[in-house]
Amino acid sequence: MSWQSQPLNKRIVAFDKELIHAGNKGLAIDHEEVAVEVDALMATMTLSQKINQLHGLQPASIDGFYYAGGDEELGLAPYKMVDGPRGARAGMATAFPVAIGRAATFDVELERRVGLAMGLEVAAKGGNVILAPTINLLRHPGWGRAQETYSEDPWHMGAMAVAFISGAQNHVLTSPKHFALNNLEITRFDLSANIDVRSLHEVYLPHFKRSIQETAAASVMSAYNKMNDVYCGEHPILLTDILRDDWGFTGFVESDWFLGTRSTAAAIDAGMDIEMPSTHWYSEENINEALASGELNEEAIHRNARRVVYQNVAWQIADMEVPDERVVECEEHIALAREVAEKSFVLLKNDKILPLEDTPGLKVALVGDLADTVNLGDRGSSFVTSSEVSTPLSGLQAFIKHASLHYFRSDDDLTRLGEFDICIVVAGLTYVEEGEFIPTQQQEVEEGELARGGDRETFALPDHQRFLIDTVAGVAKKTIVLLEGGSAIQVTDWLDKVDALLMLWYPGREGGHAIANVLFGNCSPSGKLPVSFPRSMDQLMPWDVNSLSVDHSLLHGYRLLDHQDQEPAFPFGFGMSYTTFDLDGLQIERTADHFNVTVSVTNTGTVSGVEIVQLYVSCTDSTVFRVPKELKGFGRAELEAGETADLEMNLGDEDLRYYDPEQNGWVLESCSYDLQLGVSSRDLPLSSGWLFDGVEWQPV
């Protein structure tokens, strides 16, 4: 065949670093220049002025903003910090789908755009630090704040986090949180997360490290909990040895709020720079006392204050532009929120029922109170209020032109459902069952802005929700379940009774419109699970929401399920489409320090769609324990029907190493590696074996 008749396939580069990191101001800092300016300023500062840099400026937020670090005399404008992970928590703002939903898109470029939009909205409201992203690994899907984070997998988490950070840092400073091991909610103020050095570096910290080294996150928030019996806010190993000495972090660390600081000298010495939101332990009086008793020395005050001042100068906080407030909830951000929601939905079951066709004569029933409920996620610190929210009901009402739509609340007469061609049930969770734990009685009674949340003791849906699904499925001709929630939910007890299941997460202000577009085939679902859906909690490690001590290891999520050879209800990385794909032509090219992995992806169906290709690595003859396989790359192929693309991924040697506690460092072991490619952690049809002899790599 001549070159003319052989069309070149579209080429897709997964994780295009240049594109992801474009415009990130943290990466453009001229550190030499800043250091000179900061040292000159520091030389003029009194002890009292330095101490003033070390705490927030008032206990309650002002219009959502928490202030720190300002000093008029020195010409330093204050940091104005605001939550959080799904949008600006200051008045009205674009409520994006929660982070776990955005993670289901496996779309780093999209997440960068979300970061850009949230950063811009924060800046337009006068803020300069966004208290996001939350990147605590989802060790157990019952964690109340699962919705705020991205994944049970550190590589996936790292990719989404750096995309968000680089996007947001076009406009404002970011603050990846909570450093570290904050993954049980109810006991977060007292709990000790116990962990060995290897699991810490290999599983629970890589995404924090990437946030610092790859994308220059400007600040880090410490966690409430303890690590190995020492509070994270005063942990020298976390805050100094790892964060600064090992990773080279030059930003500041602020405490988590209220109970995030537990001491004066110990916390300052360990490297926790700013007590938030105001001062107690870091008051001038306490610090002077600690200095006088010799518990603390002035150098530590100088060092910590310098870190706070450093970012202020580097980011030129006083001269930061405040964009026009009309960018908040602007058309572009609303369209983005809708696009993200559409791409975040995960089709888990489809018995030839979806997509629906909006034809005259089609009788659709929409069932359940959640269909008519604004359900944006928890009501803890990440709660965002939008001026308008499209619910499943309003979204379908706006979309449907020809079919008929009838809405049933849960207590309506559901025996009539048999008259409809299709019954769509909206079921799931709300801020009452999961979220940041804010249990004050008054708030529960008032059903005010903040509410209970907490960890989930069970994956099962609340009884009334299961009853609703059972009732509808018992009467309806065809049942589609739309499931809202921020993590894995048990589906095994009712899945067989329904015809289709679409996981929505908490889909943000545009959720309803996105639902209509996906259900009626304007776009094909393309999300994949960022968290394994076990058959029940029994498949995972023991889980006690009141525990004060939790042991961490290399095994959780799909790593644990693989290791124990357990079949989950739906594996990590799983999600269906309205079309079909074929993967072939795996090519692997070895360079000096990485593999170029290319695979051809063809849309073999009749409609356009997206396949998310995943690359896992197994180390087959290691001398140390290795989990069966680990995700080390992914890419998205958006393809028209019949189209083929060559998807290129880059697998670096650093991703093949394990952490050796004896050497306190990473080791690239001489052994065999199996590179496996496919479309979920349990569907990996292509593979290629490689042997490393300590010097060279050979295919086997």
Q: Is 256 tagged catalytic?
A: yes
For 390-544, where are the E strands, in sequence order? 404-408, 422-428, 479-484, 500-503
504 within 8 A of 515, measured Cβ to Cβ:
yes
Nearest CA to 523 among 578, 470, 593? 578
Is 111 an interacting residue with respect to ligand BGC (CB under 6 A)? no
* Identified binder of ligand BGC from the candidate list 131, 200, 366, 523, rule CB under 6 A: 131
Nearest CA to 56 among 311, 231, 260? 260
Q: Which is nearer to ligand BGC, 66 or 533 (CB)?
A: 66
At CA 275, angle to CA 271 and CA 279, rounded to 5? 140
Tokens at 387, concatenated:
């001026």
Supply the Cα-derived Rg of the chain in whole angstroms. Answer: 25
Please name every residue paired with 611 in a beta bridge, in sequence order, or none if there are none: 637
- Give the footprint of ligand BGC on residues 84-103 (CB under 6 A): 84
Q: Which is nearer to ligand BGC, 257 or 558 (CB)?
A: 257
- Give the footprint of ligand BGC on residues 469-528 (CB under 6 A): none
Q: Which is nearer to ligand BGC, 83 or 153 (CB)?
A: 83
Minimum CB separation of residue 148 from ligand BGC in Å reads: 8
For residue 141, give the H/E element and its range.
none
Residue 454 is classified by DSSP as: B
Residue 240 is classified by DSSP as: I
- The identity of residue 108, as a single letter, is V
Minimum CB separation of residue 137 from ligand BGC in Å reads: 15
CA–CA separation, 562 vs 568, rounded Å?
Answer: 9
* Identified binder of ligand BGC from the candidate list 50, 55, 83, 232, rule CB under 6 A: 83
CA–CA separation, 315 vs 173, rounded Å?
Answer: 8
Minimum CB separation of residue 256 from ligand BGC in Å reads: 5
Minimum CB separation of residue 57 from ligand BGC in Å reads: 14
Considering the candidates 256, 358, 378, 562, report the single residue annotated as catalytic.
256
Q: Which is nearer to ligand BGC, 125 or 177 (CB)?
A: 177
Minimum CB separation of residue 221 from ligand BGC in Å reads: 6
Q: In angstroms, how far is CA 458 from the centroid of its own chain?
A: 22
* Identified binder of ligand BGC from the candidate list 21, 25, 177, 307, rule CB under 6 A: 177
659 within 8 A of 25, measured Cβ to Cβ:
no
260 within 8 A of 233, measured Cβ to Cβ:
yes
Residue with smallest beta-carbon separation from ligand BGC? 381
Tokens at 642, concatenated:
């019949």
CA–CA separation, 266 vs 234, rounded Å?
Answer: 6
* Identified binder of ligand BGC from the candidate list 187, 279, 381, 598, rule CB under 6 A: 381
Per DSSP, helices labelled H in 389-482 are 392-399, 441-446, 463-475
3-state DSSP assignment of residue 561 = helix
Q: Is 236 exposed, middle or buried (0-12, 13-18, 19+ CB in 10 A)?
A: middle
* Chain position carrying tokens 């909830």: 329
Q: In this structure, are strands 549-551 and 500-503 parallel, antiparallel, or unpaired?
A: unpaired
136 within 8 A of 552, measured Cβ to Cβ:
no
CA–CA separation, 389 vs 496, rounded Å?
Answer: 32
* Chain position carrying tokens 């910090």: 81
Minimum CB separation of residue 186 from ligand BGC in Å reads: 13
CA–CA separation, 632 vs 626, rounded Å?
Answer: 14
Q: Which is nearer to ligand BGC, 83 or 111 (CB)?
A: 83
Minimum CB separation of residue 446 from ligand BGC in Å reads: 19
Minimum CB separation of residue 155 from ligand BGC in Å reads: 23
CA–CA separation, 168 vs 215, rounded Å?
Answer: 11
CA–CA separation, 137 vs 205, rounded Å?
Answer: 9
CA–CA separation, 541 vs 372, rounded Å?
Answer: 36
Q: Which is nearer to ligand BGC, 256 or 648 (CB)?
A: 256
Q: Which is nearer to ligand BGC, 177 or 207 (CB)?
A: 177
Q: Which is nearer to ligand BGC, 89 or 338 (CB)?
A: 89
Tokens at 47, concatenated:
């002890």
Minimum CB separation of residue 66 from ligand BGC in Å reads: 7
Tokens at 15, concatenated:
């994780």
Tokens at 541, concatenated:
């490690």
- The identity of residue 397, as a single letter, is Q
CA–CA separation, 354 vs 351, rounded Å?
Answer: 8
Q: Which is nearer to ligand BGC, 223 or 677 (CB)?
A: 223
Applying CB under 6 A, what is the total number of residues that bind ligand BGC? 7
Minimum CB separation of residue 200 from ligand BGC in Å reads: 21
Minimum CB separation of residue 673 from ligand BGC in Å reads: 38
Q: Which is nearer to ligand BGC, 185 or 433 (CB)?
A: 185
Q: Which is nearer to ligand BGC, 177 or 379 (CB)?
A: 177
Nearest CA to 693 among 674, 672, 676, 675? 672
Q: Which is nearer to ligand BGC, 254 or 339 (CB)?
A: 254
CA–CA separation, 637 vs 9, rounded Å?
Answer: 12
Minimum CB separation of residue 527 from ligand BGC in Å reads: 25
- Give the footprint of ligand BGC on residues 231-270 (CB under 6 A): 256-257
Give catalytic residue positions: 256
- Residues of this chain that bind ligand BGC (CB under 6 A): 83-84, 131, 177, 256-257, 381
